[in-house]
Structure 1
Amino acid sequence: MKWLLEEKAIACSLAAILLLLGLVNLVSSKNTTELVENANQVQSTYNVLGTLTDFYAAMSVAESGRRGYIFSGREEELSRHQTAVEEMEVELSELQQYAVLNGVQQQRLQQLEQLTRQRMVLFEQSIELYQRDRSLEAMQTQHAITDRSVQIREQIQSLLTEIKNTENQQLQDSLKQARQNIQYRSTIERAGILLIVVVACGVVWVFYWGQRRRQQFQELEKTLAQEQELSNLKLRLFSMISHEFRTPLSVILVSSQLLTEILEFKIEPSQLKNLYRIQNSAKLMNRLITDLLTLTRAEAGKLEHQPEWLDIEEFCLNLLDDFQSSHAVQHDLQFTSQGEFGRVYLDEKLLYSIMSNLLLNAIKYSPSGTQVTLKIEGDPEQIIFEVEDQGIGIPEEEKANIFNPFYRGQNVEGISGSGLGLAVVSKCVEIQKGRIEVNSHVGEGTRFRVYIPRIDKDAIPLGIPTGSVD
């Protein structure tokens, strides 16, 4: 099944839209995964920071409880110290479970745990010493333990600061990456939507253009059908007119010829001129009808092309004899041939229309007594017919219009004519795929050369009619 152009465009556009949607979905899915990973990392970083803060707070409470218990001996302070120590243990365990910590952070965490264990040992030693001995020497030992605990606390604070700074930097990096991913996804989605809108607009435009083209094609088909119908009507009209006119014209011509034959020995020749006028007018009217019908058939594509074997030289000689006898020609008609012809495969009716019109124009537009030459040349490819006169010639600026129907030159005033002869010649030459050359100068004469290609009868495929040309 052959697809129309707009159908192909719509199919390609839908495929492009689906492809764009797939790409946008793929990019969005990948971007969403990255956003989820960044969010998890941010959440873990927040948890680490929170745990570190809780750990430091618990360590401070444990130190405060120890000192309170040693100075006051209250059991509440000891209980507070023990609870804070347990919280520190819990916070350390939670820190060990965070996979987000890198190698450097893990090392720092191990150092933190070691220092914390050392400080817890000092806490226990201080409490046991207080419970066992409260002498002055014991108090000095307590001060030494406290000094050592403060040193370890400062190291722990330094480690906590380093861990927090690193985690904060990672948090900022994760947030920055998340923002970039969001912007990237937003850009991709906007670009995808824009491309889809552009493709959709293109589909709409192609569909609209296809509809407009289809409408124009339908209007053109309608116009062509109307013109064809008008051409057929015109052809039928001229065929009817031709039939209706030719019958009385034939009666007029035959009757005048019979009268001429009967009366030519009974009256003076000068008295027969009216009969000759009737015959010439009837012939002129018949030729006009024939030319009109030929042009109408050519315009309707109904002009027949029926080539047959023809003796060209005999055809030309008979044509000149016919002109010499039937048109009362007062010119010197000459015929020459060059090359070998024999019998050629041409359409005699079309050739007669060509040569008779060219000869008639040459005689009509040439002064009486001048020479009109018909020359034929033959070669293996084509036949060349040449008609040359010594008449009024054709102005240079009018040569482009002489083959238009009803066109007559500005220098033919006083010479009767219809302007159809050369139009008929052009159509008959065209239907035989030939060409015409014109060489003319005002006051010096005109020469027409008609080139008609030879037809190889054996090259015509069987079953293909040659009776008409569309």
Structure 2
Amino acid sequence: MVTFSVLKWSMERKWITASFCLALLLLGLINLISYQNATQLIHSAAQVKQTSDLLTALTSVSETLTDSEARRWRYFLLGDRTELDAYHQAMQNLTFQLEKLRQPLSDTPAQQQRLNLLETLIQQRQTLLEQSAALYEQPTLLSAENPWVAQTNQNQAQIRRIITELQNEEEQLLQSQVEQSQANSQVRMAIENLGTILAFVGLLGVYILLYRQMFKRQQSEQIQQKLAQEKELGELKLQFFSMVSHEFRTPLSVIVGSAQLLQENLKRLVEPSKLKNLLQIQASAKLMTQLLNDILTLARADAGKLQCKPELLEVQFLCLNLVEDIQLFSEQPRTIKFHKYGTRTYAYLDEKLIYSILSNLLSNAIKYSSPESSINFTVICEPNAVIFEIRDQGIGIPEDEQATIFEPFCRGRNVGSAPGSGLGMAVVKRCLDLHQGKLLLESQVGIGTTFTIRISQPDKVGFLP
């Protein structure tokens, strides 16, 4: 029992350690996922900002290109020199803006090609604008059929197309980044929530296991305290009953001895019928002695002081001595038929315990059966067990009371005025348990009772012939 308890506590400690480590692992994983999620959000935000800046820069390029063309045309139409200076300033800004676009788009080959093509087209448009001064000197050449006009329109359309493609590509990239960031965030948030729940469950499990362990420890301490109190109480009871038994045994022995001396001295002078009181004194004193012995035996058993110390005994000699003692102490002589079967005669038994068992059973058989009936006492010596059987033709034990007769102070309802304390069968049960024996009870009211006791013997020793 102790080993099982230790193993159980060890398993609970292992579960607590494993749950706590798992909870720490989950918390570490949650922190790692949260860190990665935050890093991903920062990276996604940087990408979104970069894409947004690219879109803003492309819009600025388109606006700057339109503004530079407008200023050059105003210079041609109005002849304002400030417009020409503003045109050159706008072209420088345009070149600077294109250079700013080159670095963010360096990791995208398709966008890089579009940017190179855009720079080429802008340079081509700048060349076409410079050629437009000669056409303004001859306004008749500014017709839709003029190749320069057609080339200028084509160049403008290509520039717008390239800028539009760049913007669309960046917008798609921006949308893809946002969607991917949202998906990653949802997945990581789900994992983080699941990890948090699992960590909470793990910590809750650790708490429950610790609480159970603490509760069981408190219960164990309470049980140990209760056992200690019961042990102390049992020892006190044993000391008390030992003292009472010792104090009463001596005067009872004196009473029995004195009554026997009086009986011997007076039986030649007084009629036997007048010695009845002396016999009652002896019987009562012997009953009191037996009662003290039974109480002391139960007290020693409850205190754990009653031990079984088997010795090699001659079974037939033990049983014949017991029959002789029972007949000697009985008020009226009774017929006890003793039978022995088996080829072996020795067995390992505790003489005091087996004597107490058999004497109580024989005493009850005599007490609860008529004086005219006989009692059968049988011993069977098997190679690996010794069997004692005591059969009477007495009042029997009611079937509903057969399970409770081994409890202290329990007597059958049909015992009538027969004397007894109700301790004999309890003593039988305690002594037989110490022998690790088995008891079989067969009884019918008005027919009789049979007690069969089986006590196992060592396989290698058994009985000696």
Fold similarity call, TM over 0.5: yes
Shift in CA distance, 183/456, structure 1 to aligned 2, threshold 3 Å: closer
What residue is the counterpart of 2:3 in the other structure? none
Q: Which amino acid aligns with 1:16?
A: L
Q: CA separation in 2, counterparts of 1:304 and 1:91? A: 106
Pairing partner for 2:56 from 29, 43, 50: 50
1:19 to 17, 25, 48: 25
C-alpha distance in 2 between matches for 1:177 and 1:267: 125
Which secondary structure does the structure 2 equivalent of 1:331 belong to? coil
Q: For the Cα contact (< 8 Å) 1:344–1:454, is it kept in 2?
A: yes
Letter in 2 for 1:234: K
List runs of 5+ in structure 1 lacking aligned partners.
Answer: 460-470
Q: How far apart, in 2, do the equivalents of 1:137 and 1:319 lie?
A: 157
Q: Which amino acid in 1 is paired with 2:439?
A: I
Q: Who is 1:292 aligned against?
A: 295
Alignment pair present for 1:407 and 2:410: yes
Partner of residue 233, structure 1? 236
1:114 to 111, 114, 120: 120
Q: Per-residue displacement from partner, 1:124-166 (whole Å, max 9, x unpaired)?
A: 2223x36xx9345666799653442122112211221222122
CA deviation string 1:95-116 (max 9, x = no partner)? 2222366333333323322222
| Map of 1:468 onto structure 2 | none
3-state SS of 2:338 partner: strand
Pair 1:251–1:229, CA change in 2 (3 A): same
Taking the aligned partners of 1:88 and 1:82, their CA distance within structure 2 comes to 10
The match for 1:465 is none
Question: What secondary structure does 2:416 align onto?
Answer: coil
Whole-angstrom distance in 2 between the partners of 1:141 and 1:357: 141
State the shift of 1:238 in Å: 0.7
Instruction: Identify which of 60, 65, 69 aligns with 1:63.
Output: 69
* Aligned-residue offset at 1:190: 3.9
User: Please, which of 54, 70, 82 is the counterpart of residue 88 of structure 2?
Assistant: 82
Written as runs of structure 1 = structure 2, the 5 A alignment for 1:2-41 is 11-41=17-47
CA drift at 1:42: 1.3
- Structure 2 residue 372 is the aligned partner of structure 1 residue 366: no
Correspondence list, 1:136-155, <5 A: 144-155=147-158
Higher mean displacement: 113-122 or 443-452: 113-122
What is the total number of aligned residue pairs between the two structures? 456
Equivalent runs, 1:162-311 vs 2, <5 Å: 162-311=165-314
In the alignment, is the contact (CA less than 8 A) between 2:337 and 2:376 conserved in 1? Answer: yes
* Deviation at residue 414 of structure 1 after TM alignment: 1.8
Q: 1:86 to 1:246 in 2, by over 3 A?
A: same
Q: Tell me how far 1:458 sits from its aligned partner.
A: 7.3
Report the AA paired with residue 84 of structure 1: A
CA contact (8 A) 2:144 2:150 kept: no
CA contact under 8 A between 1:339 and 1:377: conserved in structure 2? yes
Residue 350 of structure 1 is matched in structure 2 by 353
Task: Pick which of 134-143 and 209-218 moved more.
Answer: 134-143
Residues 169, 141 of structure 1: CA spacing in aligned structure 2 closer, same or farther, 3 A cutoff? closer
Give the secondary-structure state (helix, strand or coil) at the position aligned to 1:401. Answer: coil
Q: Distance in 1 between matches of 2:144 and 2:453?
A: 139
**Displacement after TM superposition at 1:342 (Å):** 2.4
The 1-side partners of 2:349 and 2:45 are apart by 93
User: Once the two structures are aligned, what percentage of the paired residues are identical?
Assistant: 43
Q: Which moved more, 1:349-358 or 1:106-115?
A: 106-115
Q: Which of 435, 438, 445 is 1:435 aligned to? A: 438
Code of the aligned partner of 1:386: E
CA-to-aligned-CA distance 1:259-308 (integer Å, 9 cap, x gap): 12222222222222221121111111111111111111111111132222
Note closer, same or farther for the CA distance 1:155–1:183 as it changes in structure 2 (3 Å cut). Answer: same
Alignment-derived partner of residue 466 in structure 1: none
CA distance in 2, matches of 1:101, 1:409: 104
Is 1:97 the counterpart of 2:100? The answer is no
- Give 1:93 shift: 2.1
Structure 1 residues 433, 234: closer, same or farther in 2, change over 3 A? same
TM-score normalised by L of structure 2: 0.90
Single out whichever of 425-434 and 298-307 deviates more from structure 2.
298-307
- In structure 2, relative to structure 1, the CA distance for the partners of 1:162 and 1:51 (3 Å cut) is same
Match of 2:390 in 1: 387
TM-score using structure 1 length: 0.89
**Secondary structure at the counterpart of residue 265 of structure 2:** helix
Give the distance between the partners of 1:153 and 1:65, measured in 2 at CA: 16
- Greater shift, 2-11 or 235-244, is seen at 2-11
Partner Cα distance (1:4, 1:375) in 2 = 52
Q: Return 5+ residue gaps in structure 2 as ranges.
A: 1-5
Q: Distance in 2 between matches of 1:14 and 1:328?
A: 76
Give 2:329's match in structure 1, choosing from 306, 310, 326. Answer: 326
Query: Residue in 2 aligned with 1:314?
Result: 317
Q: 1:336 Cα shift?
A: 0.8
Instruction: Indicate how the Cα distance of structure 1 residues 73 and 362 shifts in structure 2: closer, same or farther if over 3 A, else same.
Output: same
Shift of 1:7: 5.8
Whether the 8 Å contact between 2:345 and 2:381 is mirrored in structure 1 is: no
Partner AA of 1:205 in structure 2: I
